[in-house]
A and B are shown apart, each in its own frame.
Chain A
């Protein structure tokens, strides 16, 4: 599961093919030491190879703070509530788009979360199903319909991914010995793609929307299951055919032996 989300985060990272710049070279961290340390542990820095200015603007290698944060440097400081979704959405377009359609999108309502409310800033937490477990409860009381909806989403996503993983493992192990299941690979890939698209959809917090996408994945999985079932039926039929053939062969060999005895 984490791998699926991690892949999503790795996407932008593939654009940068160099080792990360050490945060020692970035002047922001000289004063903002704690934030720098937290950021250094995050996926954004280690895999995404982002630096402070990618979100905050400014000139990270300018030693003079006036120049680094002055006019013309693009420095925006601490982003306001209204800026966060757009900022994160510059790379994470799909979750931001889904978020904008969901009940949490009205940033003017201070009770609503922003991206960093659940994913935190600087030491950004990787997207995962476990995050749903730990963060919804910060605002929503147990037993409320809102929390129930979050739990339903988490459960459905978890189930769909688990089923897919089980099917993938089963098919892979069979593929080792039976090349005829190659057709299943394209269905499995389509299913995995649908599940990858479902992940960012969680931000819309819309069960129907999610269900639609999960149904897509399930349709692909059903194709695979049908192929596996056909294979099973085929194998059983073929085993019966083998039995019938050897009965026939044995009967005829016996008859030929009797014929020989008769002619002696």
Chain B
């Protein structure tokens, strides 16, 4: 939380081009790493840096954060800040879905050629939405 407060302060100052290494080094838990990754991805208080965004979002994904897995999947599919890798994109999507991330379940459903399987994935997405 302390790290987040510091990052927010830096973001609000609006003058920071890159988060200091000491701050970056503190982004050890998945939630903080993801927020840092999003800051670099969207240029929130720092210069946009797709490579650093992919790095920190990857840290968060490997740390077990489903929404980071989903975003990393998008970035891998698009080659955003990383080499495009459709296979890895699919694996992270499936990992996010296995953790019950609704958007990932829906994405799998929408890509699923078997209508019955797609329907079941959508039902799981509907259920997962009830666990905020």
Q: Are the chains A and B members of one assembly? A: no
